[in-house]
Amino acid sequence: MKIFIDKKFIPKDEYNNLKSKFPHIEFVHDLNEHKDIEVFFGLNSLLETINIEEYKQLKWIQLYMAGFDNVDVEGLKKRGLLVSNARDIFSITIAEDIISKILYFNRNTKEFLENMKTKSWQQIWKDPEIYNSTIGIIGTGSIGKEAAKRLTAFSPKAILGYRRTNEPVEYFDEIYTGEEGLNHLIQSVDYLILAMPLNNETQYMIDKEKLSLMKKKALLINVARGQVIVQEDLVEVLENHKIRGAALDVTDPEPLPKESKLWDLENVFITPHNASSSEYMVKRLFDLTLENLKLYLNNKEVNYLL
């Protein structure tokens, strides 16, 4: 059996162990040279560089990302392929990133960094708190759930969640569904966190109408995908200070063009799709690889099937 695995995701001290644990498997690292692979372990973007029809022996694709909006999952499944993702691998890191973005605004980080440059000892007495606030998270999957879990430590008044089905989710005080529920959540919260997958239902979900429902003091945090927001509408809302600010890890498009107004707005904090960055990422992906590979070889269902 031949298995493709991107070498970037094999810890250096694990490579020899990998081969010794699976002596009957040939691990290869060049997709163009090895079109007879049975299993693919790698980033979604790698699939865009090949013609999947040429890989006649391919049976299982393990994506090394949680999102899969850039992969034709249904088309692959129709061809009889198993497709799984890395659903829980990035959740902890992204949840911490969400908190860092809230605190960036709440603790006046930008102002204090600018004051340091001029050696200005200038106090700021306007810091909001997460305590006793209302938090809304659109998307109650692994990222939303890990964020809610951590945000409970700040003792908010309530954590509200939005999802397709009205079922209770741990760490959320209330769950809302449907258009009416979405509108109610947006207009009720002090922090609106976008953590939903990108699909036909969520694409450009947050438009001028939805943004107009937000409180003027509310913050918007987007760690989902840039295309869940109509970016021109967001720019307009921020320019007119209709909301307190926006922390964006994702934009539409990416990279964000230099001429975008978002770069120059003082009430915006931008990170370059970096919320999932962690020194533990490679190790976690490799652990997922080992666990799922053992399941596959024993004819058991792998984790995180799509």
Active-site position among 34, 107, 273, 284: 273
Active site residue 225: yes
d(CA 66, CA 86): 5
Q: Which runs of consecutive H residues, i.e. helices, occur in the chain?
A: 15-21, 44-47, 73-78, 91-106, 109-117, 142-151, 178-188, 208-211, 231-239, 281-297
d(CA 129, CA 20): 52
Active site residue 273: yes
Active-site position among 232, 254, 266, 291: 254
Q: Give the count of beta carbons closer than 10 Å to the beta carbon of residue 20.
A: 8
Q: What's the distance, CA 103 to chain centroid?
A: 19
CA angle, residues 304, 100, 90, in degrees to nearest 5 = 15
- The number of CA neighbours under 13 Å toward the Cβ of 2 is 14
Active site residues: 225, 254, 273
